[in-house]
Amino acid sequence: MRAELPETLEIPVLSDGVVTLRAHTPADVERVVEYATDPLTMRWAKMPSPYGRNDAERYITGAHAGWVTGESMTWAIERDDRFVGSVELKGSGRAVEIGFVLHPDARGAGTARRAIVLAIEYAVEHRNVEVVRWEAEEGNLVSLRTAHAAGFTLLAKMPDWLEMNSKVVDAWCAKWRAGDDFEPKTTWRATTFETDRFRLRPLAEGDDERIRETLDDPVSRKYLFGRPDPLTVEHAAAERTRKWWTAARGETCTWAVADKETDEYLGDISIFEIDPVVGAEIGFYTHPEARGRGVLGETFPAAVRHCFETLDIRRLTMFAADSNEGSKALARRAGMHEFGTQPLAASSGGVLEDLVGYELLREDA
């Protein structure tokens, strides 16, 4: 099969001097097959499987047909004089949906963001588009980073929202509205730093089993109530993706505490409820194998300093059940001071007890 392209069809060519959007041509077929069969694309995009040249040719024909019917606007993305991906605005009304995919050799250079900006600017000016919607399966971190960088407002996680390759999945949803700029709408804090023995980095998918072991441990369950029982690796993955999403929205920041040599997950340190005036609350939990090794004794004070010196947090609070002597000692070790008690506000192993509050202000706050 060969893609039949209408000879009279005129698809606008757009460029920002780095990235060019143009019509797909039969010469793009081979690289369409390459990006469609890349593992990352196959995992997160709606693609026939297996995918071959006939599928790519049908895709190109359909991309052109969308312009003819007005149902979609699809461009080939070109950078450095080669085809590197595709971007699509689907819909004929004032609200459209955006989709994009890059060849693996073009990722990581901001190409998708540039293509999105060009496509949206054209749609607003020439098609009277008012709202552009972005949806991705929960966990699609690469797409989330692109939407965030392109200035989309991150709205919500929607349960059972998308059908992806014969299954219904939860989705992350965002929007861009005419009049918005293309700058991030939230501060996504995702830093990496080190202490003598440990690396503090963003959570990774490979941490899921160790997260499960941490959350399912009896010591963790005593103070982290409300967890599923039994707690599965799927629950752990949901915990990770939830923290990715809230970090992207500027609400939280979580570091996996990892062994510097092996990168093995040893626990979490998180700040949450981030506010420019109130500050943020800090919390943590540790894998059972990490206890007694001074992991948090070394990393928790370093995380507190990092919050003040790098993330510009002005105030940190921490809360611990009154019986949790280890957490209380850790707060004091980091220089935090007790500021009050909430009577019977903690449930430890099903027993109500007091919740003790600690705080620390940045020196210049």
Residue ranges and CATH numbers for the domains of the chain are 14-177 (3.40.630.30), 193-361 (3.40.630.30)
Q: Which of 85, 77, 91 is nearest to 132 (CA)?
A: 91
Contact between residue 157 and residue 144 where contact means Cβ atoms under 8 Å apart = no
The average confidence (pLDDT) of the chain is 94
**Single-letter amino acid code for the residue at 205:** E
The per-residue pLDDT for range 136-146, each reduced to its tens digit, is: 999 999 999 99
Express as a percent the part of the chain with pLDDT over 70: 97
Q: Higher confidence at residue 349 or residue 51? A: 51
User: What are 241-277's pLDDT values in tens digits?
Assistant: 999 999 999 999 999 999 999 999 999 999 999 999 9
Residue 2 scores a pLDDT above 60 = no
> How deeply is 296 buried, as exposed, middle or buried, from its count of CB atoms within 10 A (0-12, 13-18, 19+)?
buried
Q: What is the pTM of this model?
A: 0.93
DSSP 277-330: TTEEEEEEEE-GGGTTTTHHHHHHHHHHHHHHHTS---EEEEEEETT-HHHHHH
Residue 336: predicted pLDDT: 98
Q: How far apart are CA 74 and CA 59, in angstroms?
A: 10
Q: 2 vs 192, which has greater pLDDT? A: 192
CA–CA dist 347, 140 (Å, integer) = 35
* Local structure of 267: helix, strand or coil: strand
pLDDT at residue 8 above 70?
A: no
pLDDT confidence of residue 1: 38
